[in-house]
Every structure is written in C-alpha cells, then in structure tokens.
Amino acid sequence: MTKKMQAKKAKRMQSVILGEDPAKTFTDDTLRSSTLDAAYTQLLTGWEESASLHSTYSQELANGIAEELRKLEKKKEETKRNQMQFYAKLLSERDRLFADRAKSQQKYYDECGEVEAARQKQERSSAHDRHSERIARQYEQQKNDMLNSKNNYIVSIAMANKIKSKLYESDIPELEDQFQDVQANLIARLVEILAQTQSFTLNHLASLTTKNDLILTAVNNVDIIRDQNLFITFNLRHFTPPPDWKFEVCASYYDKPNLNVEPAPKVFLQNKLSKAEAKLKEAKEIVQTKEQEANANRVRIPQEKNDEKTDKYLEGLHQVTLYKTSVALLEKELEVIRTALGDDIGAQQPHNFKSSSFSIPTTCEYCHSSIWGLAKQGKTCKQCGISVHTKCEMKMPAECTGTKPGHTHTRSSLSLSKLEAFSESKMLSPTPKTAITPSAATPSSFTTTAPPPQHEEHPTIWATVVFDFVASSPFEISVNEGTRVKVMEEDDGSGWIKIFKESTETSGLVPASYLKLDKDEDSDDETMVEPNLSMPIPGALPTQRSNRYVVALYDYEAQGDDELPLVAGERVELSGGENGGDRYGEGWWEGFNSHGRLGIFPSNYVQHI
C-alpha cells in the first residue's frame, strides 16, 4: 500500500501543490518546499520503514481512515461542483445581459429601417392626399418607437458594461477567495485525518512511537497559507478585462450616443426612472436582509468541520452577490437616465395600472385607438380609471389625478338585452377570491421591465403548460407540456411569466406563450372594464374606425340610447365598415364622439371636414 501511495504521490503531487498548468517552470526543490509535501513524504517514509509491524494495524487503516478520506473527497467534490455551478451562473447572467444588448441593438436597427421606410412613404404622399395626415402620424409614431428602442439599446449597453466590470472586478475575485477557503478546509480536514491515523498508530504500535512522533511533527507543520502562497506564486498570469461596449451607429440612420429626451421618449424614460427607483429601494432592502442572514450563518471556512454550515454560509454569500448585481444594474440604469433627464423627471404621480379585460371597444388614452377583448390586451389605472394598451403603459405621462371621472348611465331595454346576450357568451363567471402571500422577489426580477410588487392580497391563478420548455438561465424553470403550475407574477409586457411548480417546489420564469391561463380564476387586480349601458353594441363586436371626421353644424339631443348627442362645432369620427359611417342608413350616420362613445346621428346636422 505504501508503494502504491508513493507512486500516486509522485504522479499527483505536482498538480496538488502547483496546479495542473503552472505559469512558470519549477524544480523538485520547489515541490519539496511545500509543507504538505514534506509531511506526506515523512508519512510515507515512516510507513515504509514500519511495514513489517503493520499487519494488525493495516485493517484498521483500510476500514477507518480510508473511508473517511473517501467521504471527505466526495463532500469536497460536491462543494467544488457547487462553486463551479455558481461560477456558471455568473457567466450565464453576464451572457444574458450581453445577449439583451445585442437584441436591443438589432431592435434599434430594425426600427431605424422602419423610420426610413415611413419617411420615404411620407415624401411620396402629396399634401392633398386624404391619407397624408395618417401617414404623417404613422411616421411620427414610428420615429418615437425608434427612439424608445434606441434608449433601450443605450441602457442595455450600460447594464452589459456594468455586469462585465462587476464580474471581473468583484464576483470572480470573491469566488476565487471562496475556492481558496474551501481548499484550505480540505487540507485542514486532511491533516486532521492524517493526524488521527497516527494516533491509531501510537495506540496500537507503541514500538513505533519514535517514528510516529516524527510523522506527527511533519504533519502538524503543514502551513496552509504558505502552501497556498506557493501555488499562487506559480499561477500568476496577466489578465486584461474585455473593453466596454460602446454605442454603434445604425448604418441606415445616423444618430448620437446619448439618450433622446424629446417629449415622447422623455415620458418613457420618466416612467422607466420611476419604476427603477421603486425596484432599487426594494432590492436594497432585500440585500440588507440577505447580508444579515449570511452574517448570522458566518463560519470560519478553513477551520469549520460542519459541511452543512459551510454550504449554508456559501449559499448566503451567493444570494447576496446576485442581489447586489441587481442593485448595481439598477443604480447604473438610474444614473444613465438621470443624467439625460436632469431635473425634468416629470410629475412623479405614476398610474397604478392593472391588467384589464375590455368587453367593448375602449379608447386608449395614449394612442386613441381601440382596446377590445377578454385577453387582457390593456391596462386600467385603479386610481383615475384611464385605460391604455399594454404597449402604451410606459408612454403615458405619470400624471395620475387619483380620482375617477363620474359617469351617468342611461339604461334602455335594447342596450341591456344586447349586453346580456354578450355576457352569456363571453363574460367569465366570478370565482371565490382566496388571499395568498405575494411571491418572494428573485435577483433577476429587479432587472426586468416588470413593475415593483404591490403589497396586496391576490387570489391564486393557475395555468397549464402547452409546450415543453427547457430553462437556459438560472432564473428560468424547465416545464413539460400538460403540467399544472401556479402563476406568481403575470406577464407585464416583457413576454415572461413567473410560475411555481409544486412537484419540485421551485419557481422561475417561462415564456407567456407557453402557458394557457385559467380564465375562470381572474384576480382582483385584473379589472373587467364594464360597457356603458347607453352605448349600442351591434352583435357585441368592435366597430372599426375610419379616420374620417365630420363637424356638427347644430346641437342635437339624442332621442334614444343608440343615438349620439351633438354640440355645434364638435368633431365626430365616422365609423368604418360596410354599414358604418355615412353608409349606416338613409338620413343617419354613425360615428365616435371625443369620449369614444359610438352612436348614430342625423346626417343633415353635420358636414365633412
């Protein structure tokens, strides 16, 4: 056995002392300068000289010491694997942000191309073209979308640069320190086992006391710090961090590397600023809590003998690192946006938007086009009651009045009957609401576009997985088709939903398109926008708009629930379709007033604009 161990020592001692690939040349004297090598050499020498006396002791050595070494190796390999998995997590998070930057860049380039196409279309249209106004609006809207994409691109650059610098300046050095501590613990435990081996030798072989004392002295003289410094000396290598990302001008649209603060993009940035500030506040509180938890579990890793305590402490440090990454990214995002906005941060009276279903067409407060459907295509402010498309939420100025405008509903048997028919076929039946505790925040949840969690009670929402999904980052979760999952955070417009899988008691993000929500379990914070009972609902289907307008010549008082009152000088948009607008019927036209209400009115009371 001694001969075999000597052979293993000769084969592996270099990698143990200096690593697999030292940065500079070494000699046998270098290896012998290791206190661990000296102790191990003395140990093997003593064993070889006493081999004839170990016939009885060899069985104890095989059954006791060797087994402890196997357990130690297995446990430390597991610890090492966990450390490497965490390192992979750090790289995965970096790669995700780098990929987001590339996606934002491509999105910005695509939008630039769309702007150029819209501009050319506008140039081709004449001033007398009846669609010129609509083309101009489309060009302006396309330009705003391009500017928003540009801003997202610049922010993603800053975030990618931040995660890069944090990874190489903080996270990796800290992980290397952890590896050093774990390696020190391994050596300390190994020394303890070797010392125990010699204690057995003293008890069983008194005649070997002199030789055993020499071995114990060599083992106890192992200097972990000295050996680690020796390893460091022969593994120092020059490292240059990758360069920072910089703004790259689109080939089809020349621009400057600064955030655009024109009116429309400025509102988007102001809303982004408000949401990021709320996320940062919550993230800092969580970081403080996680640091307190980690400090409560603090151990001296090189001397710690309880592996579970060590793993718990390391896991706490990993959590703190991930949350600090979120804080760093949010702070960088805020710094970039604040630099661009200066003191112009808007009214800072954000709307409390919640996902909503719309049983009839409702005018978006921002783009003034219709929102309709039961698939939660829009959102409604719980304070002031305005409604917007999900895509328009961030474009709406943060100027919530906090109060809802009053409405007077005129109920007629015609409107009620249509609504009842519509409700029976389309509306969802209510279910009992059961309050649950809001889900805990995850490190990656602070760097997405989701609004900050509301500290309210929410009912349980369930969904069914319709496609298999394999996680590609530590913040995603793999699911199989047909699995029933619990929705923890709904889609906020980013295309991702956070779920909880009961079979594994784990949570994570999955694409929203991979889930089918249970529509009969809508939560309290998902508002069903009720129709105005005085508004006609032909066939309970949305009525198209035509972008053609008329102006009222005289006042007209509605004689029925399906008629639209007029005020002289008021603009009315004609409805579209084969039987809408000025094709509604003889002597009657159909259109929308400034409040988005649909109705009919006498054609001789208006004239085309």
Dump pLDDT digits (tens) for 540-587.
345 678 888 999 999 998 887 788 999 999 999 999 887 788 888 777
pLDDT at 38: 78
Nearest to residue 550, comparing CAs of 596, 604, 484, 469? 604
Same domain flag for 487 and 570 = no
Same domain flag for 8 and 85 = yes
Look up residue 260 and give its amino acid: N
pLDDT at 71: 86
Q: Does the residue 573 lie in any domain? A: yes
First vs last C-alpha separation in the chain: 103
Same domain flag for 373 and 454 = no
**Per-residue pLDDT at 107 exceeds 90:** yes
In terms of residue numbers, what domain contains 352?
347-406
Q: Does the residue 432 lie in any domain? A: no
**Per-residue pLDDT at 58 exceeds 80:** no
Instruction: Tell me which DSSP letter residue 560 carries.
Output: S
**Per-residue pLDDT at 155 exceeds 90:** yes
Q: Does the residue 579 lie in any domain? A: yes
Q: Which positions ≥6 away from 323 have C-beta within 8 Å?
A: 283, 286, 287, 290, 443, 446
Q: Between the CA of residue 570 and those of 64, 519, 567, 573, 593, what are the distances in Å?
A: 96, 41, 5, 10, 8
Bigger pLDDT: 606 vs 418: 606
Q: What is the pLDDT of residues 335-361, one digit of tens each?
A: 988 888 888 877 778 888 888 777 667
Mean pLDDT of 370-392: 78
Q: Between the CA of residue 46 and those of 1, 220, 500, 535, 599, what are the distances in Å?
A: 13, 15, 59, 100, 104
Q: Does the residue 245 lie in any domain? A: no
**Per-residue pLDDT at 61 exceeds 60:** yes
pLDDT at 128: 64
Contact 146, 111 (CB under 8 A): yes
| 3 state SS of 305 | coil
pLDDT at 519: 59
Q: Find the CATH number of the domain harbouring 583.
A: 2.30.30.40
pLDDT interval class at 446 (50, 70, 90):
low
Same domain flag for 584 and 450 = no
Mean pLDDT of 375-398: 82
Same domain flag for 572 and 474 = no
Q: What's the angle, vertex CA 121, arms to CA 119 and CA 122, rounded to 5?
A: 65
Most confident of 290-299, 486-495, 599-608: 599-608
Q: Does the residue 79 lie in any domain? A: yes
Q: Does the residue 317 lie in any domain? A: no
Look up residue 471 and give its amino acid: A
Same domain flag for 186 and 221 = yes
Contact 381, 351 (CB under 8 A): yes
Burial class (CB in 10 A: 0-12, 13-18, 19+), 85: exposed
Rounded to 5 degrees, φ, ψ at 54 are: -105, 20
**Per-residue pLDDT at 421 exceeds 60:** no
As given in the structure block, the two tokens for residue 185 are 């613990």
Contact 141, 68 (CB under 8 A): no
Q: What is the pLDDT of residues 447-483, one digit of tens each?
A: 554 443 343 445 678 999 998 998 887 778 999 998 9
Rounded to 5 degrees, φ, ψ at 161 are: -65, -40
pLDDT at 26: 79
Q: How many domains are there within the chain? A: 4
pLDDT interval class at 166 (50, 70, 90):
very high
Contact 583, 599 (CB under 8 A): no
Q: Find the CATH number of the domain harbouring 387.
A: 3.30.60.20
**Per-residue pLDDT at 430 exceeds 60:** no
Same domain flag for 448 and 579 = no
Same domain flag for 518 and 563 = no
Mean pLDDT of 46-62: 76
Beta bridge partner(s), residue 516: 464
Examine the fold and report which residue of 528, 553, 576 is the final residue of a domain before the chain moves on. Answer: 528
Same domain flag for 514 and 582 = no
Q: Does the residue 312 lie in any domain? A: no
Contact 182, 75 (CB under 8 A): no
| 3 state SS of 180 | helix
Instruction: Kindly state the helix (H) or strand (E) to which residue 441 belongs, with its residue range.
Output: none
Output the pTM of the full model: 0.45
Bigger pLDDT: 104 vs 303: 104
As given in the structure block, the two tokens for residue 592 are 């929308």
Mean pLDDT of 139-163: 93
The angle that helices 307-341 and 66-124 make with each other, rounded to 10 degrees, is 20
Examine the fold and report which residue of 213, 233, 253 is the final residue of a domain before the chain moves on. Answer: 233
Same domain flag for 544 and 397 = no
pLDDT at 413: 32
Bigger pLDDT: 374 vs 251: 251
Instruction: Compute the mean pLDDT over every residue in the chain, rounded to the nearest whole number.
Output: 79
Q: What's the angle, vertex CA 584, arms to CA 583 and CA 587, rounded to 5?
A: 95
Nearest to residue 328, comparing CAs of 170, 117, 217? 170
Q: What is the pLDDT of residues 485-540, one digit of tens each?
A: 999 888 766 678 889 998 888 888 888 889 998 754 444 444 444 443 333 333 33
Unique residue bearing structure tokens 């760097």: 447
Q: Which positions ≥6 away from 272 have C-beta within 8 Å?
A: 155, 333, 337, 394
Bigger pLDDT: 291 vs 523: 291
pLDDT interval class at 390 (50, 70, 90):
confident
Mean pLDDT of 22-43: 79
Same domain flag for 489 and 558 = no
Q: Which positions ≥6 away from 456 have C-beta within 8 Å?
A: 438, 525
| Helical segments of 50-171, H only | 57-60, 66-124, 132-166
Q: Does the residue 60 lie in any domain? A: yes
Same domain flag for 382 and 458 = no
pLDDT interval class at 319 (50, 70, 90):
confident
Examine the fold and report which residue of 501, 528, 555 is the final residue of a domain before the chain moves on. Answer: 528
